[in-house]
Amino acid sequence: MNSTAKRGCAALASILLALLLPTGQLHAALPDEVEGRPLPTLAPMLERTTAAVVNVAIRVRVQRRNPLWDDPFFRRFFQVPDTRVRRVRSAGSGVIVDAQAGHIVTNHHVVEHADEIRVTLSDGREYRAKLVGVDTQVDLAVLKIDADELTELPIANSDNLRVGDFVVAIGNPFGLEQTVTSGIISALGRSGLGIEGYEDFIQTDASINPGNSGGALVDLNGRLVGINAAIVAPSGGNVGIGFAIPSNLVEAITDELIEHGVVRRGRIGMTVELLNAQRAGKYGIDATQGVIVVRVDPGGAADEAGIRAGDILSSIDGQPVRRPADYDSHEAASMVGDTLVVEVIRDGRSEQFEVSIEINRSVAGDRIHRRLDGARLTDLHQNDRVSSSAGVLVSGIEQGTPAWTAGFRSGDIVLAVNGYTTPDIRELARRLESVEHAVVRVYRNGFFDDVRF
């Protein structure tokens, strides 16, 4: 055995010996380095970051029907309350993103229906939190506490993440005090899971368990790369498939909620699909890779900018669009007032368009269907599902036009076409696409009516 091998064996023996020593002697016996090289550890990074991850506990008033009320005897002769009220406590995690203002990001589902929200810091301090705002479509919520000497997490650019990058999940699983797990990024751009309205998840094998929701996914520099949101758990426990909301989307939604209290999300106004040979043949395109625009919403932001079906979408604001999930992520973060630079490939040439996201969408009816010619249509809702109202308003109409002759009137709210609801212009256009005749349900002057054409 050569001298190098002997030194390696001696070092290994010293570590094994240390592990066999009584607990009180363990720290004194473990070496800080082997063969002159320090042992790898995440401890220094975690010492800087864990203070920014908090426990979020809520109390909810739950009304349960009193079982005695089901007995007719008791119901008749005793005044038994119909319901009983109890308070339920649940817990999740959160991340301090602004130490000075006391702003904390967590998942919407962590604080949903909460009557009271309490935040506990890693040093044991506890505060009552105010709910600043929520975004149900991305499953994010922003809280605020009044506290001093807070630690915030710097936010990384999640567009720079790669599959295989090491990450660490920090949270409070199963109501335990702060817990740290490590792993790698297993996949990017996960969507189609049916978890949220907008999905562009980071997938990781770092253990994420109940209670980790709203906690931090950080890189090895201690920067926030995602907010832990969900797991796949067929057996009820962690199987190494967890999902986090990318930090770039978190930052955009957080800024909007802090500034306005609601997410004033706009729509770029396109439907995109992954380009394949069949779609390339349909549009006469030579390329067979990328993302193709298959539909442009009439009167939408992309339509007004000049983008057309058949364009190959290459980038938005300088960020490559390689999958439909990339586009969905940009649309989820597109707010009213934003102007996006969209680059497409058309007829083999690269072209750029400035797409302005506006709050009111209004379009001439003939852009939707020839029998709507003469009507002006406007989306009834203005804050992307913030308003409970949904439908398409006939905001104006000219007498003698096809729309007037069909029976539409100014002030009508279009609710459905052929039995399918139409919450916005986009859906109305889709339902009337390639349809010659239709039954359109409208709400007019307090009554429902059908317009047939």
Q: Which residue ranges make up each domain of the chain?
A: 44-261, 270-356, 362-452
pLDDT in tens, 296-316: 888 788 988 999 988 989 889
Q: Does residue 453 contact residue 406 with C-beta atoms inside 8 Å?
A: yes
Angle in degrees, 0-180, between the axes of helices 324-332 and 247-260, rounded to the nearest 10: 20
pLDDT for 176 = 67
How distant, in Å, are the alpha carbons of 3, 57, 94 from that of 131?
65, 13, 13
Q: Does residue 12 contact residue 19 with C-beta atoms inside 8 Å?
A: no
Mean pLDDT of the chain: 81
Q: Which CATH class is domain 270-356?
A: mainly beta
Is 381 labeled as catalytic in the residue annotation? no
93, 186, 207, 213: which one is catalytic?
213
Is 27 labeled as catalytic in the residue annotation? no
Architecture of the domain spanning 362-452: Roll (2.30)
109, 186, 200, 207: which one is catalytic?
109
Angstrom distance (rounded) from CA 397 to CA 411: 9
103, 108, 135, 139: which one is catalytic?
139
Residue 450 has pLDDT above 80, yes or no: yes
pLDDT in tens, 42-62: 888 999 999 999 999 888 776
pTM above 0.75, yes or no: no
Taking only Cα atoms into account, the Rg of the chain, rounded to an integer number of angstroms, comes to 28
Amino acid (one-letter) located at 333: A
CATH node for 44-261: 2.40.10.120
Specify the range with the lowest mean pLDDT, choosing from 24-38, 182-196, 275-289, 428-442: 24-38
Residue 15 has pLDDT above 50, yes or no: no
pLDDT for 382 = 47
Our measurement of the distance from residue 257's CA atom to the centroid of its chain's CA atoms, rounded to an integer in Å, reads 13
Give the mean model confidence (pLDDT) for residues 424-449.
85
Q: What percent of the chain has pLDDT over 70?
A: 79
pLDDT in tens, 167-224: 999 988 776 678 899 999 999 888 777 666 677 889 999 888 777 889 999 999 999 9
Is 109 labeled as catalytic in the residue annotation? yes
pLDDT for 383 = 40
Specify the range with the lowest mean pLDDT, choosing from 67-76, 114-123, 363-372: 67-76
Q: Is the dihedral of CA 21, 23, 25, 26 positive or negative?
A: positive
Say yes or no: do domains 270-356 and 362-452 share a fold: yes
